[in-house]
Amino acid sequence: MRLDALLGSVATTEARLAVTAGILLVTLAVGWLLLPRGVRAAERVVTHWLERFLDGRAESSIETLQEAVPVSFGLRLFVGLLQLVLFAIAAVAILALWGQFAVVVAVLPVAENALTIGAQALLSAVLLGAAYVGSDVLEEYVEDLSADSDRITAHQEQLLSRIMQVGVLVIAGITVLGIWGVNLGGLLVGAGFLGIVLGMAARQTLGSLIAGFVLMFARPFEIGDWVEIGDQEGLVTEITIMNTHMRNFDGEYVVVPNDLVTNQAITNRSREGRLRIHMEVGIGYDDDPEEASEIAKEVLDEIDTIANNPKPYVIPSGFGDSAILLDLRFWIDPPTPQARWRSKATAVEAIQRRFADADISIPYPQRTVSYPPETAETDETVERVERSANGKGRVDNRPA
């Protein structure tokens, strides 16, 4: 209305033509000369600020966005929108100048709706693009944090990155829905009921999901560890949010759900960096246990796969059915299945050879059977009966 009152005061046709020409000249000068240069200058300033702020992060996501919407196209689109707004203002001024302000009033609601929708679409696109770039920045930030700390595992890094990325995208999505006037209260209520239904239908899946978070924070094992989970033993190859992947010593690929992992005993043979091995060997009761222990200890000291610190030791541990038992204890460092098998096999071969050279026997199970005296008399009576039945004698049942 103020614009109409101001421009409506121009009464003569010549004055209106002059003002119209002035408005068009100013509009063309600003729209075609100043706006593109101003936008390019602003683009250079914003780009320089973003490069300093991101410090080389989020390059992949920025390249993806540039491939989807090239910078040149975005700048042209932005300049075009500004020029359209400028020309619309000029048209309103010219219509008000020539006494056609009623047309402006009639078209104003449509223009206002179009401007609102355009602003909402532009703001939504900016928010989603910023969320996409921000998720990439967070992932690289977590990677840098993990590289500087030994307490964050690869599994924790991956899971933390995904949680943060999903959180950023969810917040951006909720904000965009709010911009478009979507009733978030009803949407959240519906999502809550849907979550309850899905939770009842997929209890085991949710249990594995929660167990994955527990494993992330508890860290009972890491990728590459030699573990035993229940009756499964092997090397951990991957830890996901749902399952733990292992490769056993038969070359089989084993997948264990995380809820089963957390509900079973876990033996991690790699955690301490070394592993103690127990072996038993028996010697004859006629052999000297001290001499056999010294020979076995010398053999263990000579094996390369056995650690020297702590030292291996051999002690007599008990009396077996057929032998005196010697308990052999030694360490392997680092603990690997190959080192365990190789050290035990080498120890068995070398101890057997050294015991044979020293005339120390490794007895096999033996059993001695003896009969009480009445059993011998019974056997003699049975023998006489058998001889009589064969015609070789007769049975004398008279008392002696």
Least confident of 64-78, 86-100, 291-305: 64-78
Task: Report residue 130's pLDDT band, with 50, 70 and 90 as the boundaries.
Answer: confident
Q: Is 83 exposed, middle or buried (0-12, 13-18, 19+ CB in 10 A)?
A: middle
Helix orientation angle between 35-54 and 71-97, rounded to the nearest 10 degrees:
140
At 156, the pLDDT band (50, 70, 90 cuts) reads: low
* CA nearest neighbour of 27 among 103, 93, 77, 111: 93
For the ranges 165-169, 316-320, 359-363, 390-394, which has the lowest average pLDDT?
390-394
Q: What does the pLDDT average to over 365-391?
A: 59
What is the Cα–Cα distance from 123 to 340, expressed in whole angstroms? 63
Res. 199: pLDDT tops 50? yes
Ranges of each domain in the chain: 8-180, 183-269, 275-358
Q: Do residues 360 and 295 make contact, with C-beta atoms less than 8 angstroms apart?
A: yes
Q: Would you say the CATH fold of 275-358 matches that of 183-269?
A: no
Mean pLDDT throughout 277-289?
91
Burial call 118-157: b when 16+ CB within 10 Å, e when fewer: eeeeeebeebbbebbbbbbbbbbebeeebeeeeebbebbb
Q: Which CATH number fits domain 183-269: 2.30.30.60, 1.10.1040.50, 2.130.10.10, 2.60.40.1120?
A: 2.30.30.60
Quickly count: other Cβ atoms within 10 Å of residue 351's Cβ: 23
> Per-residue pLDDT for 206 more than 50?
yes
Predicted model pTM: 0.50
Confidence at 281, pLDDT banded by 50, 70, 90: very high
What's at 23, amino acid-wise? Answer: I
The CA distance from 169 to 127, in Å, is 10
Question: How high is the mean pLDDT of the chain?
Answer: 77
Q: Residue 363 gets which letter from DSSP?
A: P
Mean pLDDT of 250-266: 87
For residues 375 and 145, what is the distance between their CA atoms, to the nearest angstrom?
A: 84
Q: What percent of the chain has pLDDT over 90?
A: 16
Indicate the pLDDT class of residue 273, thresholds 50, 70 and 90: confident
- What percentage of residues in the chain have a pLDDT greater than 70? 69
pLDDT of residue 377: 54
CATH code of the region 275-358: 3.30.70.100
352 against 121, higher pLDDT: 352
> Is pLDDT larger for residue 393 or for residue 179?
179
Confidence of residue 8 (pLDDT cuts 50, 70, 90): low
Q: Which residue stretches of 254-308 are H helix?
A: 258-262, 289-302
Average pLDDT for 266-295: 90
Residue 385 is predicted with a pLDDT of: 47
Question: Taking 50 as the threshold, does the pLDDT of residue 393 lie above it?
Answer: no
Q: Name the least confident of 89-103, 268-282, 386-400.
A: 386-400
Between CA 170 and CA 126 the distance in angstroms is: 15
pLDDT above 90 for 305: no
Burial 245-275 (b: 16+ CB within 10 A, else e): bbeeeeeeebebbbbbbbeeebebbbbeeeb
Q: What does R_g of the chain's alpha carbons equal in angstroms?
A: 45
Burial of 292 (0-12, 13-18, 19+ CB in 10 A): buried
Find out whether 142 and 160 touch, Cβ atoms under 8 Å: yes
Q: What was the pLDDT predicted at 328?
A: 93
